[in-house]
Amino acid sequence: MIRNTKIFSLLLLALVLVISACGKKESASNSPAASSNSDTQTGTQGERTLTVMLRPFPNEVEKRQWEDLAKAFESKNPGIKVKYETGDVMVETGKLTTLLNSGVTPPDTILMNAGPARVEVLTKSNLIDSMDHLYEKYEWKDKLLPFAYDMVSLKDSIYELPHMVDYIGMGVNTKILEEVGAKVPENADEFYDAMQKVKDGGYIPIALGARGGYASSWLFGQVLDAVAGTDKVRALFFGEAKWTDEPFVEALETFKKWVDEGIISKEAVSLTADDQKALFNQEKAAMVSNSPYSIAEYKSAGIDDRVITWTFPAFKEGLQPKPTGGVGFTWVMPKNAKNKDLVEIWLNFILDEYTEFLFKDPEATFIPATRKAFEVIPVSPMLGEMVAAIKGGSGYNPTVFIGNNTKEVYLQNLQGILGGLVSPQEAAKSIEEARLKDVAEGFKLK
Amino acid sequence: MGNKLNGSLGLKRSLRNWIVVISFLSPAVLLYGIFMVIPIWEAIRLSFYDWNGSLTADLNFVGLRNYTETLGDPIFFLAFQHNVYWMVFDLIVMVLPVLLLAVMISKVKRGKLFFRAGYYLPAVLSLPVVAVLWGKIYDPLIGPINVFLRAIGLDFLALNWLGNPWTVLTSLAIAGVWAFYGLYMILFLAGLQNIDYSLYEAADIDGAGPIRKFWSITVPSLKNTMNVIISLVIINGFKSFGIVWIMTMGGPFYKSELLATYIYKAAFINNKFSYGSAGAVMLALVVVILTILFNSTREKGD
């Protein structure tokens, strides 16, 4: 009996220790002063820290630019230190929603991949704050590019501040075109002629790595614009047209035709976006979807002197294709952010100072979503061309404007077309069914 | 008076015994309850609501709607078929061949440790590493498989392994087998060490050859190990996720969609947590039913 009592006492003691340890840990983590994140909120000198979450730096150039920006902000705002955290900022992988749902103190602000469908995932789950009051207080609407503002105000309330507008066009290696006796195409006939010559010359006409899905959408978005026209694409995304309508099926058929004719290689479906970049940067392919981020890559690959940025010609009469895009990255404020006052200062700094700061850099890789972006001339000539190309507005990058059900079916069906697994008509029907499902679940752009 | 005292002492003794029993059981029960029962219960409960993942959202009871919607989705059934294929492939490639490998390693006279460690190596690599590695191996342009096939003039066999609907699932399953066979090999090796060597000596005296000894001594002696491994292969066949998610995300055109990727997309990408929970509950049911079926068939065989 004494032995049993001893064992019991020992177990009880152990249990008490475990529970008290858990309790201490919990109370410690609940205490603002003791939390690991909050440790950085207020330093011993009274310095406060603003935590900013970004995507992982894709290259050293962008890393340096962000570090320089932080220094500029800190020198303008003594007492505030900027701390960057990098992580997955795409809603599609589920990590961002998991982070915000986890209960762990989130970063103060997040620069995430933009798009009404993406931001809606966070707003529906009540994970981010509305910014309506900030737009009113600081008159942000007047500082933003009008079309950037339009794109983030498609819903009843605004939950984001656009950071940069995207430009998705085509990078063209003029050296390859010259070598095979082709010129930069100005119309559909010249395009097909150039593609044939590139193929005959032993090069891949258009590099594509569709394994992750998104690269195929960047390319197809441009095909959609050049075949159906910007207005019809807009009507499609705003619920005034169906995927099964003729212009969109025709765009899907064009995509298939390019695979059948070898303009896009059949291997594209199992290549990654990195493979795509490598094919173009190693001069094995003549064309590739590009964006301002590509500028630094061209430079580091040593091909910047022979690559131009270009937009597909109209594949139907009367159309004026535009580069696609929309808002590329956008700032959001997590519901449980600790330093919302600092976020306001940061976002105002971005709107007021970022454009001049960035455009001074010859390796700038963003087009800020500010009105100033069309007033200040960037030092980088290619970025200047990109800015000029979207001055009159841009086309629509589909993944930014479609609902989540549609997005999954759309990306899978693009892969299906690339792999010869589905016909354009079947793909259009499936995507339309998914769109209707999104509409039934409440997805609608204003 | 005496009876009262005896009764009181008996009650105290019984109470103490109960306290001892509870104190021994409580850590395990607490841990099991917190980490198993409550999450399972929550998943089942949520599958009857329309929760979108928001901690502040209202939960609306929708009955069996998530189940009927899931069962009405052809992609769910396609994913189920892929899981069945994956499991059967794993059973064929993972059980007997790995047992043979373990037997061969156990027969090695010198360098047993080297072979054991070498063959176990893939099991210590994390799945993302395995996925990136095999992604490059299957690369249609620069992957060593296609480079080799082209070098020996078999260009027609240099397929687009992860882009071809007929090869993508098998290619992924092979990568999965490579990542996990080491674990099963170690289990077989441990089982082999427990076989009474005198059985082999007796068989030698009776003039039995290596094949006869393998089927009549090794395989029956490893019955319990094999049961564990087959159960694990069935369970893991239906739980597969990491390699597929990293290498193809279920593509191209759903040709490598598995139940786990389907559920993940529903819950964490589309934020339909209740819908995903319904899928997860059904997946768990399938695994439980298959495991019970296998074990009951085995027991009947015994």
| Helix spans in chain B (H) | 2-32, 38-46, 65-71, 74-94, 96-107, 112-124, 127-137, 144-151, 168-193, 197-205, 210-213, 219-221, 223-239, 242-247, 259-264, 273-301
The structure's pTM equals 0.80
Domain locations in chain A as residue ranges: 39-166+326-389, 180-324+401-440
The beta-carbon neighbor of B251 closest among A4, A8, A415 is: A415
**Residue B66 C-alpha, separation from nearest chain A C-alpha, in angstroms:** 14
pLDDT 10s digits, B267-298: 888 888 899 999 999 999 999 999 898 888 88
Rounded to the nearest angstrom, the minimum Cα separation between B147 and chain A is: 14
Model pLDDT for residues A249-266, shown as the tens digit of each residue: 999 999 999 999 999 998
pLDDT of A9 over the 70 cut: no
Q: What is the dihedral of CA B105, B109, B110, B116, to 10 degrees?
A: 20
Is B235 within the bounds of a domain?
yes
Mean local confidence (pLDDT), A365-381: 91
Whether B23 sits inside 8 A of A11 (CB atoms) is yes
Q: How confident is the model at residue A39 (pLDDT cuts 50, 70, 90)?
A: very low
Distance separating alpha carbons of residues A170 and A198, to the nearest angstrom: 16
Give domain status of residue B204, yes or no. yes
pLDDT at B98 over 90: yes
pLDDT at A27: 38
Residues of B at the A interface (Cβ-Cβ below 8 Å)?
16, 19-20, 23-24, 26-27, 52-57, 135, 138-141, 160-165, 168, 247-255, 264-265, 267-271
Residues of A in contact with B250 (CB under 8 A): 412
Has residue B80 been placed in a domain?
A: yes
Report the pLDDT value the prediction gives residue A41, as an integer from 0 to 100.
Answer: 46
- Is B9 or A279 the better-scoring residue by pLDDT? A279
Q: Give residue-wise pLDDT tens across range A233-251.
A: 999 999 999 999 999 999 9
One fold for A39-166+326-389 and A180-324+401-440: yes
The number of domains in chain B is 1
> Cα(A218)–Cα(A255) distance, rounded to whole angstroms?
12
We report the CATH number of the domain holding residue B204 as 1.10.3720.10
A-interface mutation test, from B9, B15, B23, most A Cβ less than 10 A away: B23
Predicted confidence at residue A153, as pLDDT, reads 84
CATH class given for the domain over A39-166+326-389: alpha beta
Token pair for residue B210? 């290596």
Contacts of A4 in chain B (CB under 8 A): 16, 20
Residue A297 reports pLDDT greater than 70: yes
What digits encode the pLDDT tens for the residues B180-234?
Answer: 999 999 999 999 999 998 999 999 999 999 899 999 999 999 998 999 999 999 9
Q: Is the peptide bond before B252 cis (omega within 30 degrees of 0)?
A: yes
Comparing CB atoms, the residue among B20, B138, B265 nearest residue A4 is B20
Using the beta-carbon criterion (under 8 Å), do A94 and B141 form an inter-chain contact?
no
CA-nearest residue to B166 within chain A is A421
Q: What is the pLDDT of residue A11?
A: 54
**Is 80 exceeded by the pLDDT of residue A35?**
no
Helix/strand/coil (H/E/C) assignment for every residue in B206-235: CCCCHHHHHHHHHHHHCHHHHHHHHHHHHH
Q: Which DSSP category does B85 fall into?
A: H
> What pLDDT, in 10s, does the model give residues B125-154?
999 999 999 999 999 888 999 999 999 999
Close Cβ partners of B99 (under 8 Å, ≥ 6 residues apart): B188, B218, B219, B222, B226
Q: How confident is the model at residue B56 (pLDDT cuts 50, 70, 90)?
A: low
Those residues whose C-beta lies under 8 Å from the C-beta of residue A349, and which sit 6 or more positions away, are A73, A76, A77
Torsion region of A322: left, alpha or beta (phi above 0 gives left; psi -120 to 50 gives alpha):
beta
Structural domain span for residue B126? 72-301
Decide if the complex's ipTM is over 0.85.
no
- Res A31: pLDDT: 35
Helix (H) or strand (E) holding A109: strand A109-113
* Contact call for B267 and A418, based on CB within 8 A: no
- Cross-chain CB nearest to A270 (options B55, B163, B250): B163
Q: What is the pLDDT of residue B91?
A: 94
Say whether pLDDT at A15 is over 80: no
The fourth-level CATH superfamily of domain A180-324+401-440 is Periplasmic binding protein-like II (3.40.190.10)
pLDDT given for residue A32 in this prediction: 33
Residues B33-44 have a mean pLDDT of 93
Q: What is the pLDDT of residue B11?
A: 84
